[in-house]
Structures are given as structure tokens and as C-alpha cells.
Amino acid sequence: NYGVTANDKALKLIEKLIFATLAVVALVLVALGRREALIVGVAVVLTLAATLFASWAWGFTLNRVSLFALIFSIGILVDDAIVVVENIHRHRALDPGAPLAELIPQAVDEVGGPTILATFTVIAALLPMAFVSGLMGPYMSPIPINASMGMLISLAIALVFTPWLSKRLLSHASAAAHAEAGEE
């Protein structure tokens, strides 16, 4: 029964996608902290959900090829959010007394240009594979198209959603740290 076999393989790819996402969040947890890891985790889940929706809207089905494209690109999909969160974290460490409303735009502006350039460079490297002709062309086109859509969505989330969520989650940590410092 090919349906059962295909379903089993698709479920295995979904497990690997979840494992890859959790591994990235765990790495950020160790390197930056729990709030930063939560921000990256939410950004990754939102990026993957939006990419799957965009893939569906583009007319692709959720199959082994499209799932492979997401697993293949998970490392570059999370990179944008990690770069932004890490730079916000670095700016907080350099100037812990400064308000986040001032630090976040500076931090995002500092890495925004290189992040945009890196994203479009990866897209420029991947997207030509979508135009391969012959027997493999239509079969393989979801990989570069899904990865490129995912990269654009990841960039938008990193530059819009990630700073907003950082302001929301990290400001609570700043307020708690200031209150704790005031008690001592």
C-alpha cells in the first residue's frame, strides 16, 4: 500500500523537522537564555507555518519533497531571527540601563542590511534550480521555491515580528532585573 508508506515517510520527515527546530531552540537556550530561545522558537514556528501556508497558496501539496525543502532550509530559515535576537541581546549587555525601545531599533538597524543581503544571496543561489527542465524539473521545483519563500518569510518575521516580541518578552526581564537590583 503506497499510501501507508508515503504517510509513514511524511510523518518521519515531520518528526525530523520538529527535532531540527527543537535543536535550534536548545542551542539558543544554552547560548543566550530562555527568553531569547522562546523568541527564536516562536519565530521559527511562525516562519514554518507561514511557509507551509504560502506553499499551499502557491499550489504545492504537503509531500515528501516540500517537507524535505523545509528540513533542508531550517538552518537558514532560523538564521535571520537568531541574528536579530543575538544582536538585541548584545546591545542589552553593552548598555543594560538603556530602554529596550531605544536599543532594539539600533540593534536591528545594525544587522538589518547584512541580513537582507545574506537572505537574497541564498535566494539567488537556490531559485535558479526551480527552472530546471526535463523530467526532474517539475518534481524538484518545490525545493527551491519553498526554500526561497521560506527565506523571504523568515526575513520579514526577523525584521518585524522578532523585534516586537523581543520588546514584549525582554522588557519584563529588564523590569525584573531593575527591581531586583533596587532591593539589594
What is the per-residue pLDDT for 178? 46
Contact residues for 157 (Cβ-Cβ < 8 A; gap 6+): 43, 46, 47, 50, 80, 81
Contact predicate 183/110, CB 8 Å: no
What is the per-residue pLDDT for 63? 72
CA–CA gap between residue 134 and residue 122 (Å, rounded): 24
pLDDT digits (tens, 9 = 90+) for 155-165: 999 999 999 99
What is the per-residue pLDDT for 104? 96
What is the per-residue pLDDT for 176? 53
CA–CA gap between residue 94 and residue 100 (Å, rounded): 12
Query: Which residue, among 37, 94, 104, 47, has the nearest Cα to 70 in the 3D structure?
Result: 47
Look at the block and give the residue holding cell 527564536: 40
What is the per-residue pLDDT for 68? 74
pLDDT digits (tens, 9 = 90+) for 45-54: 999 899 889 8
**pLDDT under 70: residue ranges of the chain:** 1-2, 172-184
